[in-house]
Amino acid sequence: MTSSAVITVTDAGIRFRRNHKGRRSFKDLFSTKARRSKPNEFWALQHVSFEVHPGEAIGVVGRNGQGKSTLLKLVANVLIPDEGSVNVNAGVAPLIEITGGFVDDLTVRDNVYLTAGLHGMTREQVAAKFDDIIEFAEIEDFLDTPYKHLSSGMKVRLAFSVVTSLEEPVLLVDEVLAVGDKSFRNKCYRRIEEMLAEGRTLFFVSHSEGDLRRFCSRGLYLDKGSLKLDGPIEAVLDAYNEDYPGL
């Protein structure tokens, strides 16, 4: 591992079961026998290795079901690899799932404090940023509304606003902005550009080549559970389009 690397992924792999009846137990994590592939299991990712340095903006490219979201969840420590290792030497702000960390029956106000707190912010820190979070999310009239009554667009706005207020060095963004309206997406994109200008590190999953080119200088091309190419974003997109024209 290079000493300056903020993320180091070494020969990482993770497998899942094809049905819900045979979930792996906690004991399986420590059992050599259990870690071997079984007939009803498949490798979502295998033998993936790369390093990320501070300030890099990386676009993750690939068809649906090729492990893009799984890779981000490994970096966020939401998932644990079955083989190899994932070392992250900085705080991570994950915008992976719209509802991640939010509780349906709590109000918007309570959810902001809860979710930011789960990511390490103190109550005082949340209070200092609360008005800015709500203003950016454009939900001033819904502070005391239960989260479950928000539209999907409102949930995206709230999640993005909370996560980008965390000031973590690494930002993970996984397709969720596709749900928001165009004007808010542009607002989010301006904030991402501001964060990159501050030297933050970005992992960005998107099917929009325009967005990938706008933000990212480097690309990771995942195909059939493997890292097929790691290189400049233009070369990665060219390789993907050559393999899957018209997608």
pLDDT at res. 131? 97
Across residues 101-117, what is the average pLDDT? Answer: 94
**Assigned superfamily of 7-243:** P-loop containing nucleotide triphosphate hydrolases (3.40.50.300)
Are 224 and 79 spatial neighbours (Cβ–Cβ below 8 Å)? no
- Phi, psi angle pair for 17, to nearest 5°: -95, 150
Write the pLDDT tens digit of every residue in 208-239.
Answer: 899 999 999 999 999 999 999 999 999 999 99
Are 60 and 204 spatial neighbours (Cβ–Cβ below 8 Å)? yes
pLDDT higher than threshold 80 for residue 145: yes
CA torsion 69-204-175-153 (nearest 10°) is 130
pLDDT higher than threshold 70 for residue 39: no
Cα 115 to its chain centre, rounded Å, is 16
**Three-state DSSP string of 161-192:** HHHHCCCCCEEEEECHHHHCCHHHHHHHHHHH
How many beta carbons lie within 10 A of that of residue 189, not counting itself? Answer: 14
Query: Of 32-41, 126-135, 206-215, which range is least confident?
Result: 32-41
- Phi, psi angle pair for 168, to nearest 5°: -75, 150
- For 80, the 3-state DSSP assignment is coil
Query: Of 24-28, 113-117, 180-184, which range is least confident?
Result: 24-28
101 Cβ contact list (under 8 Å, min separation 6): 114, 115, 118, 119
| C-alpha to C-alpha distances, 9 to 45, 140, 233, 241, nearest whole angstrom | 12, 41, 19, 26
pLDDT class of 33 with cuts at 50, 70, 90:
very low
pLDDT, greater one: 28 or 71: 71
pLDDT higher than threshold 90 for residue 101: no
pLDDT at res. 81? 96
143 Cβ contact list (under 8 Å, min separation 6): 107, 108, 109, 134
pLDDT, greater one: 59 or 184: 59
Across residues 3-8, what is the average pLDDT? Answer: 88
Q: What is the pTM of this model?
A: 0.84
DSSP codes of every residue in 189-246: HHHHHHHHHTT-EEEEE-S-HHHHHHH-SEEEEEETTEEEEEEEHHHHHHHHHHHSTT
pLDDT at res. 165? 93
Query: Of 31-45, 101-115, 191-205, which range is least confident?
Result: 31-45
Query: Of 65-79, 124-138, 179-193, which range is least confident?
Result: 179-193
- Domain map (residue ranges) of the chain: 7-243
pLDDT class of 22 with cuts at 50, 70, 90:
very low
- Phi, psi angle pair for 146, to nearest 5°: -60, 140
